Structure 1
């Protein structure tokens, strides 16, 4: 398997004199044959700025930095695929930070590109090619004309047309999982927040956070428009907002308004679940699905990344347990990173967390971050590093009733956790 690199102009080449390697945490590792799959449709190959690739020389069987003016290359995977290794590289300038993407090791093998990844879900509904841009523009115009005073629809039109956010697009296409953001504030200071970064972070937030407080009527309008089909999902908690439960009063009133008029579809919240009392009120109002974002079940690691304000990981656990006990289909949005998530102590902690909270689904999400910055932020490894593929096998073995996926799933009535409709989200 040949190393893949890019020149200064961004042209891609394979190097016949270097075998491709991967990276796990800060360690350069061999890529196993069973870790490779063909480059998925919808994946993007990118040059990593300020880097030089590291490969295994076929001449002396030594790891070396590839000579010349070349850059490492990574793949950005579509949703539904879990990366197993990062690209192998060294930074040519340690002060520079990579853009906030989830880079995956890529190789050239048998006359095609392969990536170190595993498919964890059906990517069909999350494929950007399934979003007809012409149809989307027509539907945006139609909805904006129907609700000219709804500021939320205007905000979402920007997300759909400018950022090409698929969840926002679904809101206008009235299908699958749609978005209803409600919050401009947050009770966490996530290190990799995509909608708000402090000036001295060194990162550029790729999205702009909403800057107004919607009314209950604005929220209710969007929810009722979207919940037309029995399998549709409307979701609080989007990348363009802060923590939705900080606006619990609006959410509770909107859910009650909607459920007084229709029983169709599913109401979901994407949340950090730190505000336990607010989360209980939202659950009691009629919530169907809850997806909680987490990066670890170890408090020191969790706090380093999320920087929670006036809540703890124990609050998160209590919120999840309460929701599960009330019949809500609970899941976690698990931000994963090779060489960290697959540490022995991380696996053991997450298995315990999942069992205590009664989780139904773990959504594996590749963490979009500059690797060096993240590794400097979090605790050092204490135990063995198993590798991502073995980690996934352990989860499937130890949590047989928990779905390992990538999207929001909806359980059918009277069916087991393995009989599910799959929706994007």
Structure 2
């Protein structure tokens, strides 16, 4: 009976080893893992039924190789799963994935311990070398967990979304998430200036690869707002705006642009980027929004990317591309942009903003500017803010969406 199990275990191991050159093919690695588990089960059962003899030595060798192979496979599996977990779209998916990584790492460590025990029993150079490989695999697997990068990248390159900086700074202020900035980025100094001014020096970490996914940030922020919306808003306003009023140059610049437009105002955001072009502003829709705003008694302020001049009505204000002005490109560029919105609120009747799902809108939204964002379908990430961030409303493009916007504009008038 023992001889038969020993031969079966050896055959299973040989079959599993024969798959090693094909592990990249679909389904093969799963088959490989199943075979290794079967080897361990069969050989362990046989070991419990045998005495110290030739079959026992054979089983020890089989088990040693099987455990070493399992340790190395677990190291590979943990590495692969960690990459997917780090990019998971939700924070809970990310944490669930890393919990599974931890379990896989423990498998590698358990296999390594067992391989070391068997190597001591066999007491050969070959056995010691095999156990050493298992130990190395287990240590490499554990390193995946201990070196997990929990920091989120604050993008400081114009090619990335400027507005996502609001997400990350807010999450750091409200939930203590760590931040990293890639050295040498075009706007590295401006990003650091904003974070330092916001009191986030302690949140900065050295830059490392494979950061956490920014997709988690809206959820983190939503949770903080659900606990205490007014308190969260106060924290962000204090940090983002500082204790000082807008500069005299900013105040004068806004006055010159908006002079002669005394009506209350609504920001209309314009997006025409190359990334996710399906989210870009449709100018026909923008025309409709402008008319709705005017019919509700507001002056529209166009903000963001450029629009055809004929779209801006006589009572409108064209602030598109203003973010390229030197006033908004200096060391304090991020705070200056937020202070622009505050100037418009305090002195020029700005009551709300409407636009596509552009992250640039979310800085003012988090600080209290009523917001309508337009989307083709329910937005999983930003939808978390609806009902959590005061005044934050999602409008799906459906037949009644213009009626919803008109109703909301009427409420803003009140």
Same fold (TM over 0.5): no
Which of the two has greater helix per residue?
Answer: 2
TM-score range, shorter chain: under 0.3
Which of the two has greater strand per residue?
Answer: 1
Higher relative contact order (CA 8 A, sep 6+): 1
TM-score, normalised relative to structure 1: 0.24
Larger Rg: 2
